[in-house]
Amino acid sequence: MLRIFIIKMFAFILALTLPVSGYSLGSAVSPTQKVVQLLQDMSAKGRQEKQDEAVRFAAYKEFCDNTVVNKQDSISAAADQIEQLEADIQKAESDAAVLAGEISQVDSDLAGWDTDKKSAATIRKTEHDDFSNTHRDYAESIDALDRAIVVLKKKSYDTKQAESLLQRVSFFDRVPEKAKRVIAAFISTDSEIRQDPLAVSAPEANGYEFQSGGVVEMLQNLKDKFEDEQNSLEKEEMNAEHAFQMMSQELTGSIKAATNERGAKAKTKSQREEAAASAKGDLSETVASHDEDSKYLTSLNAQCAQKSTDFELRQQLRAEELEAIQKAIEILAGSAVQGNADKHAAARQALIQKKASLALRASVNAVSPLQKNVAAFLQARAEKFGSRILSMVASKIADDPFAKVKKMIDGMITRLIEEANEEADHKGWCDTEMAQNKHTREDKTEDVNTLSAQVDQLKASITELGQQIADLSAAIAATDRAVAEATEVREKESAKNKETVEDAKDAQTAVAQALSVLKDFYAKAGAGAENLTMGYDGKTRALIQTKQPEVDAPETFNEPYTGMGDSNGGVVGMLEVIEADFSRLEAETVESESSAYKAQERFLAESSKDKAVKSADLDHNKKGLTTAESDLNDTTKDLQATQRELDAALHYYEKLKPSCVDSGVSFDDRTKRREEEIESLREALRILSGDDIA
C-alpha cells in the first residue's frame, strides 16, 4: 500500500511540474517545493485528525468499558435475584402444600372427632334410656317388695291385698324362679286357709305363721338384693355419665384446638400463597430485565468489538498514510527530484544573469534597494500581524548580505514549519490527555456528587428511622399503659355491675313478695267489695223505704273500701313500676356488662394486633437502621476513595494547564499567525527572487 501511494504521488508531482516548467523553474519556489509544502500540510492535518480520532475513541472505549461493567453487574445481580426469587417461590409453594396437607389432616381429625362425639352422645342416650328403664323396674320391684313385706309383717293383714302384692312381685322378671314358686305356694296355702279357716289347727297356724315369716325373709332378701343391684346400677350410670362427660370435654377441647389450629394454618397458607404470587411477579419483571440487559450487553460487546477493530484499522491506515507522506517528502526533497529541478532552472538563470550580475556583486558588501523593499514589506507585515519573527527577519534583511538573507528566510520558513508540526503533535497529545482527564474529572465529580447525595440520603434515613423507632417504642409503651388502665377500669366496672345485678335481683325478689301479699289482699278485698256492694244496694232501698237517719246523714261514701291498690296508680302500681325498674336495671346492667366485656375484648384484641404490628415495624426499622448505618459506612468510604481519585485528576489537570491550555492566544490563532508569517517570508523570497516582476 505504501509503494502504490508513492507511485501515485510521483505521478501527481510530474503532472504539476510539466505544464508550468517554463515559469516555475526559474522561481524561488518551484512546483516541487509547493508539493512538499502541500504534503507537509497534509501530514500535519493527518496527524491532527488521527489524534482527534484517538481522543474520540478513548471516550467511546471508556463508555464501553463502564457500560459493560455496569450491565454485567446488573445481570449478575438479576441472576442472583432470580435464583433467590425462585428459591423463595419454591419455599412458599412447598410451605403452602405442606400446610394444605396439614389442613386436610386437621379436617379429617375434626370430622372423626365430631363423628365420635355424636356417636358417643347416641350411645350415652341409649345407655341412659336403658338405665332409666332398668332403674324404674328396680324401683317398682323394691316398692312392691317393701309394701308386701309391710303387709305380711302385720299379724292381721288383708289377705287379698297380700296376695295381690305377692302376685305382682312374682310377675317381675328379676324375681328368681325359686322365689316365684315359694310365693305361689304361699298364695295357694293362704287361699286354702281362707276357704276353711276352722280346719286350721293350732300347730298348722304356727306352721303358717312360720311359713309367712320365711316368705317375709325371702322378700326382704330380694329387696336387699334389688337395692344393692339398684345402687350398683346407679353407680354404673354415674361412672358412665362421668366418663361420657370427660370424653365429651376432651373431644370438645380437641375440636376447638384443632379449629384454631386450622384457622392459623389456613391464614399462614394464604400468606405463603400471596408471597409466592408476589415473588412470581417480581421474578417475571426481574427475568425480563435480565434478558433485556443480556441482549443489550451482547449488542454492546459486538458493537464495541467492531468499533475497536475499525478503529485499529483506521489508525493503522492513517499511520501508513503519514508514513507514505513522509517518504514522499523525503523523496521530493532528495537530489533525484530537487537536483533535476535545479538543473532545469539553469537556463532560466542564464537569461537573468546579465540583469542581476551587478546586483549580485553589490550584494556582498552592501544592501540593495530590493533588500530594503523586502525589509520594509516584512516590517509592515510584522506590525500588521504583531509578529516578532517577521520584525526580526526584517531587521536581519536590512543588515545581512543578499545571499545570506535568502538562506536565512529559507531556514526561518523551515523552522516555522517544524515548529508547526511539533506544536500539532503536542496539541494532539494535549487533546488526548485533556479529554481523558476531563472525562475522568467529570465522571469522578458525578460519582462524588452521587455518593454525597447517597450519604445525605442515608443520614436522613438514619435520622428518620431513629425517630420512627422512638415513636414506635413510645406508641407500644402507651398501648401497654392503655391496656393496663382499661383492664383496671374494666375490673372495677365488672365488680360494680355484678353488685348492681345482685342488688337488683334481691330487690325484685322482695318487691315480688310484697306484690304477692298486696295482690292477694286486694283480690280478697275486691271479692268482699262485690258482696258489700250488693248489700249496699238492698240496704239503700230499705233505708229509703224506712226513712232511716243514715239516709239524711251527710254524704260520706257509697261504695265499700277496696284499698289503695287501684287508685291513682296506688301502691300496687308503684310496686310494679319499681319491680319493672329493678328488672330493667338488671337487664340494662347485664347488657352494659356484656357490651363492656365485648368492647374490652375488642380493645384488647385491637391493642394486641396494633402492638404486634408496631413491634414488627419496630424490628423492621431496627434492622433497616443497622443496614442504613452499614451502608453509610461503606458509602462514606467509597466517597473518600472517589474524592481522592478526583483530587488526583484535578492535580494532573493543573500540571497539564501550563503546556496544554491556551494562555491568551489559542492554537488556531497561533497557527494562523504562523501561516501568515510563513506566507510573508515566502512573499519576501519571491520579491528577492524577482518572481513578482511582471
pLDDT of residue 692: 53
Q: Which of 600, 602, 520 is CA-nearest to residue 565?
A: 520
Per mean pLDDT, which range of 122-131, 379-388, 627-636 is the poorest? Answer: 379-388
Per-residue model confidence as pLDDT tens digits over 566-620 = 544 455 666 677 778 878 888 888 988 898 888 888 888 988 988 899 899 989 9
Q: Is the pLDDT of residue 315 over 90?
A: no
* pLDDT tens per residue, range 408-453: 776 777 777 777 777 677 777 887 887 888 888 888 899 889 999 9
**pLDDT tens-digit readout, 564-579:** 455 444 556 666 777 7
How far is Cα 169 from Cα 184, in angstroms, rounded to an integer? Answer: 10
Least confident range from 35-39, 177-181, 219-223: namely 35-39
Helices 31-153 and 159-171: crossing angle in degrees, nearest 10, is 150
Phi, psi (degrees; rounded to nearest 5) at 594: -65, -45
Nearest alpha carbon to residue 51 among 309, 441, 322? 322
C-alpha–C-alpha distance, residues 30 and 25, integer Å:
6
**pLDDT for the residue numbered 688:** 66
Q: How confident is the model at residue 192 (pLDDT cuts 50, 70, 90)?
A: low
Query: What's residue 345's pLDDT?
Result: 44
- Give whichever of 202-216, 383-397, 454-468 has the largest mean pLDDT: 454-468
Mean pLDDT of the chain: 75
Q: pLDDT tens digit string along 83-121?
A: 999 999 998 989 999 999 989 999 999 899 999 989 989
Name the residue ranges covered by the structural domains of the chain.
108-284, 433-651
Can you give the pLDDT at residue 308? 85
Tens of pLDDT, residue by residue over 652-674, are 888 877 767 655 556 666 777 77
How much is the pLDDT for 25? 40
User: What is the gyration radius of the CA atoms in the chain, in angstroms?
Assistant: 67
Give the 3-state secondary structure of residue 111: helix
| Least confident span in 126-140, 190-204, 280-294, 459-473 | 190-204
Percent of the chain with pLDDT over 90: 18
Report percent pLDDT > 70 for the chain: 67
CA dist., res. 578 & res. 121, Å (int): 46
Grid coordinates representing 404 are 545570506
* pLDDT at 202 > cutoff 60: no
Give the whole-angstrom CA distance, residue 467 versus residue 533: 91
Q: Candidates 3.30.60, 1.10.1740, 1.10.287, 1.10.260; correct CATH number of 433-651?
A: 1.10.287
Q: What is the mean pLDDT of residues 12-28?
A: 41
Distance of CA 264 to the CA centre of its chain: 22
pLDDT of 242 > 60? The answer is yes
Element (H, E) at 265: helix 202-333
The three three-digit cell numbers of residue 479, written as one number = 398501648
Per-residue burial over 491-502, b if 16 or more Cβ lie within 10 Å, else e, is eeeeeebeebbe
pLDDT at 528 over 70: no
Residues found in the chain: 694
As to burial, measured by CB atoms within 10 angstroms (0-12 exposed, 13-18 middle, 19+ buried), residue 231 is exposed
What whole-number distance in Å separates Cα of residue 670 and Cα of residue 36?
22
**Which residue in 112, 106, 118 sits closest to 260, CA to CA?**
106
Please give the Cα distance from 190 to 416 (Å, whole number): 173
* Residue range 536-555: mean pLDDT, rounded: 46
